[in-house]
Amino acid sequence: MALIVQKYGGTSVGNPERIRNVAKRLLETQREGNSVVAIVSAMSGVTDSLIKLAKEVSPKPTEREMDVLLSTGEQTTMALAAMAIQAMGGKAVSLTGAQAGIVTNGIHTKAKISNITPDQIRKHLERDEIVIIAGFQGETEEGDITTLGRGGSDLTAIAVASAIGADICQIFTDVDGVYTCDPRIVPSAKKIQEISYDEMLEMASSGSKVMQSRSVEFAKKFGVIFEVRSSFNNNPGTIVKEETAGMEQVVVRGVSVERNQAKVTVAHVPDKPGCAARLFTALADAHVMVDVIVQNVSESGSTDISFTMNRDELDKIGDLVDRVAAEIGAGKVTKQGGIAKLSVVGIGMRTHSGVAAKLFEALAKGGINIQMISTSEIKIAVILDEEKITDAAKLAHAAFDLDVV
Ligand code: ADP
Ligand code: ASP
Ligand code: MG
């Protein structure tokens, strides 16, 4: 008998029939002799509609109230899933994040889990009930509802699996596992059987939203091995775990794409200590997540600094960069949307050379211009014109033989 945590994402619970399908799967898992905890997301599209609804009543809703609102999406699903199981003759109980003992800090809309006291979960499991927990939400010490950032039900699943010492943690979604690239972008992408935490983390944080990146970070920290698989069939999925000796033989594990980026260039920044600090401190103070940064070599006492960020972040900061540029005596500020990032990821890069050259060559052959480059030990990322991103992903995917099993 095993203790199993299963998470079902938005598409998997997207309508009543799919909720009944999830209920059936949970019951089957229990009837095989296991104790079952399910984490459920809001039905697909619900979180987005709630955000839209909020904007219709207030231009700038407070984050506390956003959390109260958004948490209702998952609460709807948890009750419906429990009812569906009961209607099939099974025993089930639904728990909110707070009832499940999930305590977070008070950073509304992107709260961090500080601890989980799973007493209620254990009590219901002892009564042979299937425990359905609302994903994506928790509660502060003061009793305020919080949410864990978009895609946060993944984090609930990993954290609950860790807290109750689950034997198995399965993330059920609408694809068969983690693929070498998003199959919606590169149809010839292949399912990856095993991937290391570090690779999954790099892919997730560079646009492969099949897993929320914070959930992968958590899994790595607490050694939670998990499987990503489909709720629509019984195919084995992708196992995400600590790296093993053989994993380094694969140079590139996958390709990630991040659309909707923007590039800002500040020209003629005085080439003296403190200027870059002033600029990026102002951005940090405004909670802007800056991604790739490039500074050109200066010959004439000034330098150009370019950086990228999410397009929505750029819209939020207004003329902040222009103001700082004026203060530090820099020149023109250019802002450009329509930018995207392509990343190739693999722990094999640590021991193989020529990866960057191969990527650049593949893009050059396709006539695709690279605007910026950034690298880490296991990733090479390039900034491109958004219009070219699908072609670029296909070229990179083919160059590293990822469509060949
Ligand atoms: P859920 O609602 O189950 O959490 P998500 O929409 O968050 O599902 O994640 C699943 C989606 O992630 C897939 O439909 C797929 O389009 C996308 N995706 C992006 N990158 C990848 C990848 N490398 N492998 C598999 N799916 C990916
Ligand atoms: N419902 C939330 C979202 O859409 C959380 C999740 O599905 O994981 O982001
Ligand atoms: Mg998701």
Domain termination site, one of 154, 174, 194: 174
pLDDT of 222 strictly over 70? yes
CB–CB of 363/396 below 8 Å? yes
Q: What is the rounded average pLDDT of the residues 215-232? A: 98
For the Cβ of 9 lying below 6 angstroms from any atom of ligand 1, the answer is yes
Domain termination site, one of 131, 157, 174: 174
Instruction: For 238-271, write each residue's pLDDT tens digit.
Output: 999 999 988 988 999 999 999 999 999 999 999 8
Domain termination site, one of 158, 174, 190: 174
* Structural domain includes residue 197: no
Q: What is the pLDDT of residue 405?
A: 65
Closest ligand to residue 11's CA: 1
360 CB-contact burial (10 Å; exposed 0-12 / middle 13-18 / buried 19+): middle
Ligand 1 center to residue 388 CA distance, Å?
21
Q: What is the pLDDT of residue 72?
A: 98
Q: What is the rounded average pLDDT of the residues 75-103? A: 98
36 forms bridges with which residues in the sheet?
A: 4
Q: What is the pLDDT of residue 209?
A: 94
Q: Identify whether residues 13 and 162 lie together within a single domain.
A: yes
Mean per-residue pLDDT over the chain, rounded? 96
Two structure tokens written together for 224:
């939670």
If one residue of 175, 179, 186 were mutated to test the ligand 1 pocket, choosing by the most ligand atoms within 8 A of its CB, it would be 175
For ligand 2, which residues put their CB under 6 angstroms from it?
9-10, 41-42, 47, 73, 135-136, 150-154
* Structural domain includes residue 260: yes
Two structure tokens written together for 215:
């959930």
Q: Which atom of ligand 2 is nearest to the CA of 136?
A: 5
- Count: domains in the chain: 2
Two structure tokens written together for 46:
């619900």
* Structural domain includes residue 216: no
Q: What is the pLDDT of residue 404?
A: 83
* Structural domain includes residue 242: no
* Structural domain includes residue 190: no
Residue nearest to ligand 1 atom 1, measured at CA: 9
CATH label of the domain that carries residue 128:
3.40.1160.10
Instruction: For 380-399, write each residue's pLDDT tens digit.
Output: 999 999 999 999 999 999 99
pTM for the whole thing?
0.95
Q: Identify whether residues 146 and 279 lie together within a single domain.
A: no
Closest ligand to residue 9's CA: 1
CA distance 97 to 145: 9
**Residue-wise burial string across 34-72, b where 16 or more C-beta atoms lie within 10 A, e elsewhere:** bbbbbbbbbbbebbeebeeebeeeeeeeeeeebbebbbe
Q: What is the pLDDT of residue 300?
A: 78
| Cβ contacts of 202 within 8 Å, gap of 6 or more | 256, 343, 345, 376, 378, 379
If one residue of 39, 40, 41 were mutated to test the ligand 2 pocket, choosing by the most ligand atoms within 8 A of its CB, it would be 41
Position 297 confidence tier, pLDDT thresholds 50, 70, 90: confident
Q: What is the rounded average pLDDT of the residues 52-71? A: 96
Q: Which atom of ligand 2 is nearest to the CA of 156?
A: 8
Type and span of the H or E element at 123: helix 119-126
Q: What is the pLDDT of residue 353?
A: 92
Q: What is the rounded average pLDDT of the residues 62-67? A: 97
Position 315 confidence tier, pLDDT thresholds 50, 70, 90: confident
pLDDT of 57 strictly over 70? yes
CA distance 194 to 242: 10
Instruction: For 149-208, write each residue's pLDDT tens digit.
Output: 999 999 999 999 999 999 999 999 999 999 999 999 999 999 999 999 999 999 999 999
CA distance 182 to 180: 7
Q: What is the pLDDT of residue 378?
A: 96
Residue nearest to ligand 2 atom 1, measured at CA: 42
Closest ligand to residue 135's CA: 2
| Phi-psi region at 4: left, alpha or beta (left = phi > 0; alpha = psi -120 to 50) | beta
Instruction: For 98-138, write each residue's pLDDT tens digit.
Output: 999 999 999 999 999 999 999 999 999 999 999 999 999 99
Ligand 1 center to residue 287 CA distance, Å?
27
Q: Which atom of ligand 1 is nearest to the CA of 11?
A: 2
The parent domain of residue 78 ranges over: 3-174
Q: Side-chain half-sphere of 270: how many Cα atoms within 13 Å?
A: 13
Ligand 3 center to residue 36 CA distance, Å?
21
DSSP state of 231: S
Closest ligand to residue 209's CA: 1
